[in-house]
C-alpha cells in the first residue's frame, strides 16, 4: 500500500494524445480487419489503451489486476504508464513544419543592389551582407558578378542560384561570341538568362538580378528575375533594401552627371539602404561600365561611411556640475 502511494506521488497527469493511431489503418474495409476474441481482462486493457495511448500492455506480465479488485485498476493505469510528452510543436503535421522551417531560412532577397544608366555609361553598386533569417552569415559576399569584361550581373536572392546561373550565362555568352564572331548584346544576354529562368519557374529558384553592360548600341540595363520577368530600364534597385535606395537614387539622379557624381550617388544610396535595412550591410562596391568595359571604382565599409557622412559632433554636457558659487 505504501509502495503504491509512493509511486503515485511521482506521477503527473498527461493529457491524452490523438487517437488516430488506434483506429484501423485507413484503406482497410471492415471485413479485412482481423477480429480477435478477447477475455474480460484483455478487453478492459484494450479500452484503457484507447484512453491512454502510451500505456504499456501488461497483459503478459503478472499484474496487480489479477490479485487486486477492479477499483485499483484505475490507479494501475497511471502506475504503469511510462512518462509521456506532448509531441513538439509542428510535428503533428511534419510537411507543413518543414515548409515553415524552410521559409524562415529562405533569403527572401535580403540585400540591396542598384544600377542606373547615365550619359557616361552604367553604374552598378551593391552591398555585401548575406543573412539567413536573423543571422548574418557573411559580411563580405561579392554581389556584383563579372560575366565578361564588358558585362556585369548583380546578385539578389539565393547566392548559389545567382552565382551558378551568372556563370552559366557567361559560358553561353562566350559560346555566342565564338559561334558568331561578335560580342553578344546586353539584350541578347538578358533574354538568354530570362528564358532559362522562365523554364525553371515554380521550382524554387530565387534570383533578382540586373544585367548591365555596354554593347554596340551603347549602355544597356535589364532587370531579370526568377519569376520570369524581364524589364528594360534606366534605373533599377533590387532587394529588401531597394525601396530605401530608390528614395535616395531617384532624388539625386540626373542624366548628365559626371562619373564621380554618379559614383557618389550610388554609394550614398546603398549606404542609406544599409542604414535602414537589417539585411543589408558590409561593404559598398561600386562599378562603372564604360565603352571599354567595366572597372571597379570603390569598395567602402558602410560603418566607416557612416562616420564620414555624419561625423561625431562634440556634444556639450547637458548639466555640467559646477561648484556652488561662493556665498
Partner 1 sequence: MECVFGLVGKGFAIVAADTSAVNSILVHKSNEDKVMVLDSHKLLGASGEPGDRVQFTEYIQKNVHLYQFRNGIPLTTAATANFTRGELATALRKNPYSVNILLAGYDKGVGPSMYYIDYIATMHKIEKGAFGYGSYFCLSMMDRLYHPDMSIEEAIELIDKCIIEIRTRLVVAPPNFVIKIVDEDGAREYAWRESIKSPDVSMA
Residues in contact with 203: Cβ distance below 8 Å, sequence separation at least 6, in sequence order: none
Least separation in angstroms between CB 235 and partner 1: 7
Rule CB under 8 A: choose which of 53, 172, 235, 275 binds partner 1.
235
Decide: residue 146, CB within 10 A, 0-12 exposed, 13-18 middle, 19+ buried: middle
Which whole-number Å values give the CA distances from 185 to 119, 190, 217, 244, 249, in the listed order?
A: 19, 9, 8, 31, 26
Q: 228 or 293, CB closer to partner 1?
A: 228
Q: Which residues pair with 207 in a beta bridge?
A: 157
- Residue 288's φ and ψ, nearest 5 degrees, are -125, 130
What's the rounded Cα separation, in Å, for the pair 31 and 43? 20
Least separation in angstroms between CB 115 and partner 1: 12
Contact call for residue 291 and partner 1 (CB under 8 A): no
Rule CB under 8 A: choose which of 93, 231, 306, 309 binds partner 1.
231
Contact call for residue 117 and partner 1 (CB under 8 A): yes
- The residues assigned a catalytic role are 111
**What is the separation of C-alpha 194 from the centre of its chain, rounded to a whole number of angstroms?**
23
Q: 79 or 219, CB closer to partner 1?
A: 219
Give exposure, 151-161, as e/b (b: 16+ Cβ within 10 Å). bbbbbbbbbeb
Helix (H) or strand (E) holding 259: helix 259-276
Segment lying near partner 1 (by CB under 8 A), choices 27-35, 56-64, 196-204, 268-276: 196-204
Q: 14 or 253, CB closer to partner 1?
A: 253
Residues in contact with 147: Cβ distance below 8 Å, sequence separation at least 6, in sequence order: 153, 166, 169, 170, 173, 189, 211, 213
Rule CB under 8 A: choose which of 33, 167, 232, 308 binds partner 1.
232
Contact call for residue 234 and partner 1 (CB under 8 A): yes
Q: Is 108 left (phi over 0), alpha (psi -120 to 50) or beta?
A: left
Least separation in angstroms between CB 233 and partner 1: 5
- Strands (E) in the chain, as ranges, are 113-118, 121-126, 130-132, 135-138, 144-148, 151-154, 208-215, 218-225, 230-232, 235-238, 283-290, 293-301
* 93-98: long-range contacts, CB 8 A cutoff, minimum separation 24: none
Segment lying near partner 1 (by CB under 8 A), choices 39-47, 72-80, 194-202, 305-313: 194-202
Rule CB under 8 A: choose which of 254, 296, 306, 308 binds partner 1.
254
Contact call for residue 194 and partner 1 (CB under 8 A): yes
Rule CB under 8 A: choose which of 223, 271, 287, 294 binds partner 1.
223
Rule CB under 8 A: choose which of 48, 75, 136, 228 binds partner 1.
228
Contact call for residue 255 and partner 1 (CB under 8 A): yes
Contact call for residue 201 and partner 1 (CB under 8 A): yes
Least separation in angstroms between CB 84 and partner 1: 46
Segment lying near partner 1 (by CB under 8 A), choices 35-43, 82-90, 250-258, 319-327: 250-258
Residue ranges binding partner 1 (CB under 8 A): 117-119, 194-195, 197-198, 201, 217, 223, 225, 227-236, 242-243, 246, 253-255
Amino acid at each position: 500500500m505504501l509502495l503504491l502511494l509512493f509511486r503515485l506521488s511521482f506521477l503527473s497527469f498527461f493529457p491524452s494524445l490523438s487517437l488516430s493511431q488506434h483506429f484501423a489503418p485507413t484503406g482497410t474495409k471492415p471485413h479485412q480487419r482481423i477480429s480477435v476474441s478477447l477475455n474480460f481482462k484483455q478487453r478492459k486493457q484494450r479500452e484503457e489503451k484507447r484512453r491512454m495511448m502510451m500505456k504499456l500492455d501488461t497483459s503478459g506480465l503478472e499484474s496487480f489486476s489479477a490479485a487486486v479488485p477492479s477499483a485499483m485498476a484505475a490507479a494501475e493505469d497511471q502506475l504503469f504508464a511510462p512518462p509521456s510528452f506532448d509531441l513538439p510543436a509542428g510535428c503533428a503535421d511534419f510537411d507543413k513544419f518543414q515548409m515553415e522551417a524552410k521559409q524562415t531560412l529562405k533569403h527572401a532577397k535580403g540585400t540591396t543592389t542598384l544600377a542606373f544608366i547615365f550619359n557616361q555609361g552604367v553604374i552598378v553598386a551593391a552591398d555585401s551582407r548575406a543573412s539567413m533569417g536573423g543571422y548574418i552569415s557573411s559580411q563580405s559576399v561579392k554581389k556584383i558578378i563579372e560575366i565578361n569584361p564588358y558585362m556585369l550581373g548583380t546578385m539578389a536572392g539565393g547566392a548559389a542560384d545567382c552565382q551558378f546561373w551568372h556563370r552559366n550565362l557567361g559560358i553561353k555568352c562566350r559560346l555566342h561570341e565564338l559561334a558568331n564572331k561578335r560580342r553578344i548584346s546586353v539584350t541578347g544576354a538578358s533574354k538568354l538568362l530570362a528564358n532559362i529562368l522562365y523554364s525553371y519557374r515554380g521550382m524554387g529558384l530565387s534570383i533578382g538580378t540586373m544585367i548591365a553592360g555596354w554593347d554596340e548600341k551603347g549602355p544597356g540595363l535589364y532587370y531579370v528575375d526568377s519569376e520570369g520577368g524581364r524589364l528594360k530600364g534606366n534605373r533599377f534597385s533590387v532587394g529588401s533594401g531597394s525601396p530605401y535606395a530608390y528614395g535616395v537614387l531617384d532624388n539625386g539622379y540626373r542624366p548628365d552627371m559626371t562619373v564621380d557624381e554618379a559614383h557618389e550617388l550610388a554609394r550614398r544610396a546603398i549606404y542609406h539602404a544599409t542604414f535602414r535595412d537589417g539585411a543589408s550591410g558590409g561593404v559598398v562596391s561600386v562599378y562603372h561600365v564604360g565603352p571599354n568595359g567595366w572597372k571597379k571604382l570603390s569598395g567602402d565599409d558602410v560603418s566607416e561611411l557612416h562616420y564620414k557622412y555624419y561625423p561625431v559632433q562634440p556634444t556639450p554636457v547637458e548639466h555640467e556640475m559646477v561648484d556652488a558659487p561662493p556665498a
